[in-house]
Each structure stands twice: as structure tokens, then as C-alpha cells.
Copies of this chain bind each other. A is one copy, B any other.
Amino acid sequence: MRAPLPRINGDSRRHQAAQILREAIVTGQLKPGDRLRELELSEQLQVSRGPLREALRQLEQEGLLISYPYRGTEVLGVTQEEIEEILIPIRMTLERFAVRHALPTMGEEELADLEGIVDDMRRAASDGDGRALSDADIQFHDRIIEQADQPHCRQIWDMIQPRVWAYFRRDADTHASLDEVVAQHEKYLEALRTGDLETALAAVDQHLTDIPGS
């Protein structure tokens, strides 16, 4: 038994549609207040309305859309206050929990994976590619959540993360400098390497306090 080769296309149409729409909202192609019509979308995405509707419901639960019965679905915004007072604190709760569970199970292999992601971040930063940096950033934290292997933690994470991501990509151009983001993750990873829980948790707190969007 070995790891399966990369799947041809393991994602259901629902999943694909959700991903495309999420991307469009997060990158600002779809702006808060824009109305979405199911028929139009299903034609553009080459997906029937069945799976599309399920995708819309999912994005609704992710806080990116809001729908009104018989009257359509529209893109929902997030305020800075909601980000700071709700979403970031929840992220902190989740990531602290995740680290507590992930840390004991992290061997050299897992740490090397994270190091690889940080390498990607370094490349992206030196290329000035904010988009690639952001992707790697998300991947870094995703990996930690994944490693914790706690279904509810993972599930709530998937619910919270898109809102934060959307906010920082469309409403807040005032990012930390690219290099700063890389440096922060290097520090975070180093704390994980010590294997000491308190050190790691302190790194989580500092990381999310300094650059809350990443």
C-alpha cells in the first residue's frame, strides 16, 4: 500500500463550483452586494443547478453569501470589527487547540513539510508575489489544523478561514511586508521544532496578534 497517485479529478462538481466561487469572492471579482442568479452561474460554470445550489448553501454557511427565499443570493461583506472581535479570537481558540493536539504527533517528516511551505513563502516573497505568499500562508496553517486530526476543529476552521481570507484580500491592502510574513512563520515553525507546548502556544498567540490575517 502506497500513497495513491494524484487523483485525476477527485472533486465533485459541487466542490469545484464552491471552490471557483470562493476564489472569485475572495479575490474581489465578486463584490459584497453583487447578486447571484443560479441559472446564469450554472451556465458559466458548466454545472447543473443541483450541485450549484449545494455549493451556494455551503458558501452561505462559510459566511461569504447570504440568500433570501425566492429572491436570490448576494455576496456578503465582513466588517473590521467582526474580524477583530469575532473571527480572529475564534481562530486563536482553534489554532491553540490544534497545536496542542498536533505537536506531540509531529515528527521530522511533518516539520520538513512545513519547512517546505516556508520555502515556498520565501520564493513568493522574493518574487513579490503576494498571491502565492497568501496561498502558502493558508496552506501552512491548514497543515497544522490537519495534523491535529480533530473533526470539529477542522470543520469550524473551514467555516471561519474563508471570511478572514476574504477580508484581508479585498478590504485590507495594508499588509505586513512580504518579508515580515515569512519571518513570522519562520519564528513560528522554530517554536514548533522545540516540541515544547508552552513555547509553541506562545508563538501562536504572537503570530495571530502581530499579523492576524495570516
A94 to B160, CA, bound (A): 13
Q: Is the beta-carbon distance between A93 and B89 smaller than 8 angstroms? A: yes
Chain B residue with Cβ nearest A11: B69
Interface of A is mostly: helix
Chain B residue with Cβ nearest A61: B61
Report B-chain residues with C-beta under 8 Å of the C-beta of A78.
152
- Report A19-43 residues with CB < 8 Å from chain B CB: none
- Report A139-187 residues with CB < 8 Å from chain B CB: 150-153, 155-156, 159-160, 163
Report B-chain residues with C-beta under 8 Å of the C-beta of A156.
63, 86, 90, 159-160
A163 to B150, CA, bound (A): 14
Q: Is the beta-carbon distance between B12 and A63 smaller than 8 angstroms? A: no
Report B-chain residues with C-beta under 8 Å of the C-beta of A50.
50, 53
Number of copies: 2
Given contacts A50-B50, A54-B53, A57-B57, is CB(A152)–CB(B66) below 8 Å? no
Query: Shortest Cβ distance from A63 into chain B, in angstroms?
Result: 5
Chain B residue with Cβ nearest A66: B151
Given contacts A57-B57, A150-B82, A156-B159, is CB(A90)–CB(B87) below 8 Å? no
A-B contact sample (5 more), CB < 8 A, given A50-B50, A82-B150, A85-B93: A78-B152, A85-B97, A86-B156, A90-B93, A93-B93
Binding site for B on A (CB under 8 A): 12, 50, 53-54, 57-58, 61, 63, 66, 69, 76, 78, 82, 85-87, 89-90, 93-94, 97, 100, 150-153, 155-156, 159-160, 163
Q: List 19 A-B contacts (CB under 8 A).
A: A50-B50, A53-B54, A57-B57, A61-B155, A61-B159, A63-B151, A63-B155, A66-B151, A78-B152, A82-B150, A85-B93, A85-B100, A86-B93, A86-B152, A86-B156, A87-B152, A156-B159, A156-B160, A159-B159
